Amino acid sequence: MDAAELVASYLEDVSNEPDADRRRDAIERLFHEDVRYADQDGPVNGREALAERISVLAALMGPTARFSLRRPAQGVDDAVIFQWRLGAPTEDPDLEGTDVALIRDGRIARLYAVLD
């Protein structure tokens, strides 16, 4: 899986997945076991903590809100930078941001999310 596919799968299978069990399966597949995720609420370490953070965020999103890329992801060495939007597809976004993912052994090892 190349970097663009990894990002696309993360957004669709983790961030946009409403089912917690399917989301956990995707996290197991896409993220290193020692993943570190950091956003404005602070960092979390490990897949379980990431799954919990994503579950909290998913509960805050409305049923029609979805993450999508604002432009194609860009890979630089072991980093992937991607800009996203969150909202109903036909409306102005509720949030926009830029994430940086560090890839190790084909999985996301670090993920930094910054709101624009």
pLDDT in tens, the chain (116 residues): 888 899 999 999 999 998 999 999 999 999 999 999 999 999 999 999 999 999 998 888 877 889 999 999 999 999 999 999 999 878 888 899 999 999 999 999 999 999 98
Domain hosting residue 10, numbered range: 3-115
pLDDT the model gives residue 3: 86
- The CATH code of the domain that includes 109 is 3.10.450.50
pLDDT the model gives residue 60: 85
The C-alpha atoms of residue 50 and residue 57 are separated, in whole angstroms, by 11
pTM, whole model, 2 decimals? 0.92
- Number of domains comprising the chain: 1
- Helix/strand/coil for 102: strand
Of the candidates 31, 61, 22, the one whose C-alpha atom is nearest the C-alpha of residue 49 is: 31
Question: What ranges make up the beta strands (E) of 46-94?
Answer: 66-69, 74-76, 79-87
